[in-house]
A and B are shown apart, each in its own frame.
Chain A
Amino acid sequence: MSPKVLLNNKEVNIILHRLACQLIEKHTDFSNTVLIGLQPRGTFLAERIKALLMEEYKLPEVQLGLLDITFYRDDFRRSDKVLEANSTEIDFLIENKRVVFIDDVLYTGRSIRAALTAIQSFGRPSEIELLTLIDRRFSRHLPIQPNYRGRQVDAINDEKVLVNWKEISGEDAVYLINN
């Protein structure tokens, strides 16, 4: 079956602007807020949001870090492949900061659970929020919900949501693929 387009280029763009505006509504000047993109796929969305905030909405400084959760996952030795790590790049303190996790697809919630553990290695944030482009709402294994969501999708379990970014795939688009 051919993939179904969930969001096209224009729709992704509108959603990114809306998410950026929602963040500004809550965090105003970002003086005490940091964005954390989750490796590997959340980093593209995080970089885009940061660029929008600084270039389109003229915020003077938005701090962005990248967090890898490989060593904190709960499926180590349960999945067939070795969990290969990506780099973590957080070169600022998150103690007492307001942290916004950014990931492209919220599915079971297990990655976010791992990220909540991983971020503790960098201090105690005052609060943590979650921003996600796609929320697969019927697939959660854990009680985790996003604070900012791009689009809610009712995908069933053997369907896959694929997010393409210009940086790696040449287009911004979201597809639903039937396995």
Chain B
Amino acid sequence: MSELSVDHLLGIKYLNNNDINLIFDTADHFKKVINRPIKKVPSLRDITIANLFFENSTRTKLSFELAQKRLSADIINFSSGQSSVSKGETLVDTVNNILSMKVDMVVMRHPNPGAASFLSKHIDARIINAGDGAHEHPTQALLDTYSIREKYGEVKGKKVVIVGDILHSRVALSNIFALQLQGAEVMVCGPKTLIPKHIIELGVKVEVSLRKALNWCDVANMLRVQNERMEISYFPTTREYTQQYGVTKSLLDSLNKEITIMHPGPINRGVEITSEVADSDQAIILNQVENGVAIRMAVMYLLASKIKQ
């Protein structure tokens, strides 16, 4: 247990349990580092990383950027809005141009599923998938399960429900893989229109009643309704969605136990969870954000260690 089994982080489905343990143990050390008066280590001082965001992102991009700076890497940033992509350049051409500037690692978010995997086959750099369409978002699932481990000591045996828009969510898929790999039981909950037809084949439970799901679980991971990915209507109105699938304080208080609330952000306050819930002691949403920096430091440190001089 001292090296990752993969050369890129394309998705949780390519990792094994040892990889996850190694990432978590390394993140433990980095979490201490980022809580020191001087939060920076020189490990990646001779590594250059390109952050390529072909799709909007605020917290993931900031989290990666902060993690890179804490590791002393050199970074270049690219957002498709201000680039030649709009001039018709292909993905491989764009990235090869950037790589000819001697970049060692690429962090990429892209609207097409499989974009990161495609890139890893065509260019000579370590690739980290920061979200590819509705496919995977591995660092989010790592930080989510790391936060569960931090709260409960271990992920194994925990019951976790993922609530909301499962259909359009890369967070859901990566989380399902990560949770199952670590021995958790997983349930998805949401309107039938937002639950993929064959998801049961992944070995997850499906529940349409939010109350039943919350009574079953230890942890509820609340997803945002991704209006920007919906070209048709999946439920009548946002108000109706909230009535059926919004978590309120009174709903939480009426359960037979205290559960933990997670949210990958950005929160639509008053839609999937109320402000009262988001700001309560049961929510670990801000811990997730802090852990995100430590997890991304660990992933980049471990991948960089495989780039030999």
Contacts and interface: CB of A to CB of B under 8 A. Distances in A.
Given A76-B305, A122-B37, A123-B37, A71 B2 contact: no
Contact of B42 (A71, A81, A83, A123): A71
A77 interface: yes
A130 B32 CA distance: 25
Interface in B5-44: 25-26, 29, 32-33, 36-44
Interface string A132-148: 00000000000000000
Given A85-B26, A120-B38, A71 B305 contact: no
B197 interface: no
A82 B302 contact: yes
Contacts, number: 51
A117 B305 contact: no
B308 interface: yes
A122 B32 CA distance: 12
B37 to A, nearest CB: 7
B309 interface: yes
A85 B29 contact: yes
Interface string B276-309: 0000000000000000000000000110111111
A7 B46 CA distance: 41
A72 B44 CA distance: 10
Interface residues of A, number: 19
B2 A84 contact: yes
B240 interface: no
A8 interface: no
A81 B3 contact: yes
Nearest to A87: B29
A39 to B, nearest CB: 11
A79 B32 CA distance: 25
Contacts of A72: 41-43
A68 interface: yes
Interface of A: 68, 70-72, 76-78, 81-85, 87-88, 117, 120-123
13 contacts: A68-B29, A71-B42, A71-B43, A72-B43, A76-B305, A77-B46, A82-B3, A83-B305, A85-B29, A87-B29, A87-B32, A121-B33, A121-B36
Given A121-B33, A121-B36, 16 more contacts: A68-B29, A70-B29, A71-B33, A71-B42, A71-B301, A72-B41, A72-B42, A82-B2, A82-B302, A84-B2, A85-B26, A87-B29, A88-B32, A120-B38, A121-B37, A121-B39
Interface of B: 2-3, 25-26, 29, 32-33, 36-44, 46, 301-302, 304-309
